[in-house]
A and B are shown apart, each in its own frame.
Chain A
Amino acid sequence: MRILRSEHTAGWLFVIPAVVLIVVFALLPIVWALLLSFQSSDFVTPAKWVGLANYQALRHDPDFRAAVVRTVEYTAIFVPLVVFGGLGVAVLLNAKVRFMGFYRTAFFVPVACSTVATAIIFNWLLDPTFGLVNWVLGWFSLGPYGFFQDPNQALYSVIAMTAWGWIGFNAIVYLAALQSIPQELLEAAEIDGAGRFLTFWRIVWPLLGPATLLVVVWSSINALQVFDEIYVSTRGGPLQATTVVVYYLYEQAFRFFAAGYGAAIAYVLFAAILTLTLLQMWIGRRRVHYTS
């Protein structure tokens, strides 16, 4: 094979197929949506150009602000929960123990189940009167709780339902990362007399840096955009307790036919996610150690 002289050429040749596909099918639509955010459109009649009017309206929209607060709260609880939960599960699953294939597949089941099926199940599990959870809690004289029906508990119930699937997802990523840690390093630590905890803290955890960055960034991006699970369970309620930003967007665009406004919301969210991700990547660059 010809050895490519320029690293620039090589780099671009390797990424061009991916870049072309992503530009055409992801970037172009996003730019279109940006243009939509400067218009007043209901998807039905021809749109009108309104400049920054949508964004200005957003600044004074108390419902939007409330949605933002809820989304931040959701993300702040969800991300640590699924990152550390995923790590814990991966550690548990990282051994040559009997039935490990069964255990690993069991943790994958919630990941594989469709959102609709999961929501149906959780609706029953957490039903205030007939649900299994309240029944079990009743044995310990706890509850009954409203869960999805209680405005104060609904958001946390949704977090529980979504985390159910995501922990398994993160666990898979972490498991792959754990499996890539060179055996010699662990053996050397053992020879040196390091205990399990020290080995983990000093050797494994730093080596999981790249995986942790991936998992944190990915979980954050998804948490900030959560929609499907809320749509099939609480529909943004009760009393808007679970109306997060994307749900609010959906209502504006598809229930109230204010598509331009919905696009503006999407772009504000985009700016927030981008900022957060860049911050995470920057921290990652300084704190994450890659072997090279």
Chain B
Amino acid sequence: MKLPSPRHLLLLPLSLVMLTPLLWMVMTSIQTPNESQQFPPVLPSGIHWQNYTNALHAVPFGRFFLNSVIVTAACVLGNLVLCSLAGYAFARFRFFGRDLTFVVILATLMVPFQVVMIPTFLIMKDLGLIDSLGALILPNLVTPFGIFLMRQFFRTLPAELEEAARIDGCSRLGTLVQIVLPLSGPALATLAVITFLYSWNDFLWPLVAIQSEHHMTLQLGLSTFQGAHATDWTLLMAGNVMAVMPMLLLFLLAQRQFVRSIAAAGVKG
């Protein structure tokens, strides 16, 4: 018990390999522009924090960050609620057209975005939402992947608990909220993280849906540093590091949810 687990032998080197992109990004972000234009990469002579402040001032970084936070938070909340509802129904209820609806929902993932970009834009325009954060939130308020994830997860839970609750007079919604969701920590955490990821890193849709700088998201803002002719690597990497941090922090917090849930029969959460 005192010996460190042999897992460390594998995990440590693998983790370092996985961290290489982040290390490279951080290293580039603290170099001077001169140093960054070198290859093979040179170690930075000192920590050039100015790149971070420069990146923050070169574009309305705070505004972009806020926009991304608003859009992402809304999408995460929307998904947590709507995917749980829909996933539960697909997992537990038998209703007319259930399987067909599920397949159709899944099928909407099978057409590449480049093809549906323009009609989606037209629909948004008819709703008067172009160039607003609403255009970024609404299409992603619920995602087929999220529904699929929750459905699969709910199906792994033993149904006896829910049946017991129903017999006791609990409504279906009540059963979901009071019995099932407390046992779904890992799945909800996974859904939150993945939704956050897709929303935070989304680039192509915000590119066409947003026209004024005031509503741009962080990813659009980062593309500012990658001009068609001259890429300022230090600013780009500083921006990227700042963009990646919230996700990593969120993940660090969320992965604590990955603890064994108490699913033994008779034990209520």
Chain A residues within 8 Å of B, Cβ to Cβ? 1-4, 7-12, 14-15, 17-19, 21-22, 24-30, 32-33, 36, 43, 89, 92-93, 95, 97-99, 101-118, 121, 124, 130, 164, 168-169, 172-173, 175-177, 179-184, 207, 210-211, 213-214, 217-218, 221, 225, 227, 246, 249-250, 253-254, 262-263, 266-267, 269-270, 273-274, 277-278, 281, 290-292
Contacts and interface: CB of A to CB of B under 8 A. Distances in A.
Nearest to A26: B108
Contacts of A169: 194
Interface size class of B (residues with CB under 8 A): 35 or more
B21 A117 contact: yes
B133 interface: no
Contact of A18 (B82, B194, B201, B219): B82
Contact of A33 (B116, B142, B247): B116
Interface in B1-38: 4-5, 7-8, 10-12, 14-16, 18-22, 24-25
B169 A17 contact: no
Given A10-B93, A175-B258, 17 more contacts: A4-B172, A14-B86, A15-B86, A17-B82, A28-B119, A32-B119, A33-B119, A101-B256, A105-B251, A111-B197, A112-B197, A112-B247, A113-B240, A114-B222, A130-B40, A273-B110, A278-B103
B39 A109 contact: no
Say whether chain A's binding surface is mostly helix, strand, loop, or mixed: helix
B89 A14 contact: yes
A21 B138 contact: yes
12 contacts: A3-B172, A21-B139, A26-B144, A106-B19, A112-B201, A113-B21, A180-B183, A180-B186, A180-B261, A211-B152, A225-B112, A266-B111
A114 B219 CA distance: 9
A168 B18 contact: yes
Contacts of A118: 21
Say whether chain B's binding surface is mostly helix, strand, loop, or mixed: helix
- The 4 A-B residue pairs with the shortest CB-CB distance, nearest first, are A11-B95, A176-B186, A106-B15, A14-B89
Interface in B105-157: 105-112, 114-116, 118-120, 122-123, 138-139, 141-142, 144-145, 147-149, 152-153, 155-157
B268 interface: no
Nearest to A33: B115
Contact of B39 (A3, A130, A263, A292): A130
Contact of A274 (B107, B259, B263): B107
Looking at B155, B255, B261, the one whose CB has the most chain A CB atoms below 10 A away is B255
